[in-house]
Amino acid sequence: MTLAELAAAPGRASELALADEVGDDRSARERLLRTMRERLREMRASIERGLATDAPSRTGMVGWNAKRLWKADDVLGAALLRRVQAYAMAVNEENARMGRIVAAPTAGSAGTLPGALLGVADHLGLDDDALVMPLVLAAAVGDAIQAKMFIAGSTGGCQAEIGASAAMAAAAVTELLGGSAHACVHAATMALMNTIGLVCDPVGGYVEVPCVSRNAFYSVHAVSSAQLALAGLESVIPPDEVVQAMASVGRLLPPELRETGEGGIAATETGRRIALKMAR
């Protein structure tokens, strides 16, 4: 199903996505919803583990950031912002420790969706039951993007991973907050459009730096996109054309900026020194 088809849903976008997936097979519907509940439980468990520990990853580059932020004073009076960022980093630091996470859509971008969706829900005191259908929609948005481009840093740069996750998260948060199908898809589109060009440059090839903090930043980006869409703002460029634009930028990216650890942050003097040390 394309993003344009999702946007044209007469009711909730998630209902159309679910119907597209299972038709009128009631047992398939129940199975899929059960799977989504399980995914939510796993996401929450990885957040809780990540917030509670400061055990370092194998490289020692990350592991304590989520807990430190979570325990820090809310000096900006921005509790939602801090919660969303801490949740996102908690998941990706779990990933860096080889802990159990839900790829959404990839392991490197696994924190953005739960950071935004569970972060907003917890901030507003919403029950996890309210998150099941938004998660169905997030999956449909990921599918629609995946149909037009490779979702991997090695093929499309970080825009392909984090961009897709931010789009999924933006749509899910918009639906959670009562947005129309049109608003959900435009939230996803704005999130995607404003991620174009993001390169994949992990230090030493480890999914840690800049990946962990990147999930924190783009989970907030997803919430911002939802806020714009819920206020009635929309993308001038149609959703599926934005996906195509991102795919074409991905093809233009040189190999150094596609997960080889040879460009960007990875190619800094310190990045190279860390990579060398880890290789010994």
Residues that bind ligand SF4 (CB under 6 A): 108-109, 153, 158, 161-162, 200-202, 207, 211, 214, 259
Q: How far is the CB of 11 from ligand SF4 (least distance, A)?
A: 34
What distance separates the 2 farthest-apart alpha carbons in the chain? 58
CB neighbour list of residue 106: distance below 8 Å, 6 or more residues apart: 151, 152, 153, 161, 165
Min separation Cβ 237 and ligand SF4, Å: 23
d(CA 209, CA 93): 10
Residue 117 or 158: which CB sits closer to ligand SF4?
A: 158
Choose between 184 and 192: whose C-beta lies nearer to ligand SF4.
192
**Of 35 and 155, CB closest to ligand SF4:** 155
**CA angle, corner 62, sides to 56 and 63, nearest 5?**
45
Instruction: Give whichever of 190 and 257 is closer to ligand SF4, judged by the CB atom.
Output: 257
CB atoms within 10 A of CB 60: 11
CB of 66 to ligand SF4, least distance (A): 16
Shortest reach from residue 249's CB to ligand SF4, in Å: 14
Q: By C-beta, is 23 or 255 nearer to ligand SF4?
A: 255
CA 209 vs. chain centroid, Å, equals 16
Q: Is 256 exposed, middle or buried (0-12, 13-18, 19+ CB in 10 A)?
A: middle
Separation of alpha carbons 257 and 153, rounded Å: 9
Angle at 238 between CA 149 and CA 192, to 5 degrees: 50
Q: Cβ closer to ligand SF4: 5 or 259?
A: 259
Cα–Cα dist 274/205, whole Å: 10
> Smallest gap, in angstroms, from Cβ of residue 114 to ligand SF4?
15
Residue 211 Cβ, how far from ligand SF4 at the closest point, in Å?
A: 3
